[in-house]
């Protein structure tokens, strides 16, 4: 299993994502924002950080990076893609996921552990979890509140495309306490909290996030 991890100027969690991929038993393949070749990977991760310095709008410039010209049609054709934090923002800017990420309620940067509930195991990235399972991961963002029209939220809820939800407290004011959503096909997932920072009890809040990176990803969404 070869999972590409894209590095944009300003990415800061690409190394953590590669480590999580390797820890899960797959091969991490570094991809550069200027690449026009996905190097035959089986899946792609867009990591957290501040791509292009978050100028203009978070993820707005990264959406036009050369690598995205290859990734967008590949994702539309079924390639599994996980966008974490800034990666989630990029996926929304690229219209691979609906909605947008807005400033946190209270306009403060949040950096702490949070509990999330896995709402759907019907994606290549969450198939290692049971629906309703609660896990501890790390939230660190200032622009992390998920927003969409009432019609879009209703559609996501009805179709089972809300992948994860904040459990108990809604720390950033996301609509419906949504922490992650999936594309209509299910292969593209955006997640605001960071599972790659919860893969080892020695260095994080535990190992709850590791299953996002497990080699079960060899199953592409139909």
Q: Is-catalytic flag, 85?
A: yes
Q: Is-catalytic flag, 194?
A: yes
Which ranges of the chain have pLDDT less than 50?
A: 220-222
- Indicate which residue of 33, 58, 194, 197 is catalytic: 194
Number of domains in the chain: 1
pLDDT at 222: 40
Q: To the nearest 10°, report the CA torsion of 98, 100, 101, 102.
A: -150
- Indicate which residue of 92, 93, 196, 197 is catalytic: 196
Structure pTM? 0.95
CATH number at residue 72: 3.40.50.880
- Indicate which residue of 33, 58, 70, 85 is catalytic: 85
DSSP assignment of 87-123 equals HHHHHHHTTSSSSEEEPPGGG--EEEEEEEEE----S
pLDDT at 203: 83
Q: Is-catalytic flag, 95?
A: no
Contact status, residue 144 vs residue 174, Cβ threshold 8 Å = yes
pLDDT at 218: 54
pLDDT at 204: 82
pLDDT at 220: 45
Please give the residue range of the domain that contains residue 145: 2-218
């Amino acid at each position: 299993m070869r999972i590409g991890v894209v590095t944009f100027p300003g990415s800061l969690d690409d190394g953590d994502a590669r480590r999580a991929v390797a820890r899960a038993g797959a091969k991490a393949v570094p991809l550069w924002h200027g690449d026009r070749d996905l190097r035959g990977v089986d899946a792609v991760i867009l990591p957290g950080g501040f791509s292009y310095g978050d100028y203009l709008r978070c993820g707005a410039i990264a959406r036009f990076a050369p690598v995205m010209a290859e990734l967008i049609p590949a994702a539309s054709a079924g390639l599994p893609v996980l966008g974490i934090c800034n990666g989630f923002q990029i996926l929304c800017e690229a219209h691979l996921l609906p909605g947008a990420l807005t400033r946190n309620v209270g306009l403060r940067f949040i950096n702490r552990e949070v509990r999330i509930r896995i709402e759907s195991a019907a994606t290549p990235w969450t198939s290692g979890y049971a629906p309703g399972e609660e896990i501890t991961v790390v939230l660190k963002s200032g622009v992390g509140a998920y927003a969409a029209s009432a019609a879009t939220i209703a559609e996501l809820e009805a179709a089972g495309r809300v992948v994860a939800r904040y459990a108990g407290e809604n720390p950033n004011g996301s609509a419906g306490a949504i922490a992650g959503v999936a594309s209509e096909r299910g292969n593209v997932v955006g997640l605001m909290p960071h599972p790659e920072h919860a893969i080892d009890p020695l260095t994080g809040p535990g190992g709850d996030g590791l299953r996002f990176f497990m080699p079960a990803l060899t199953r592409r969404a139909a």
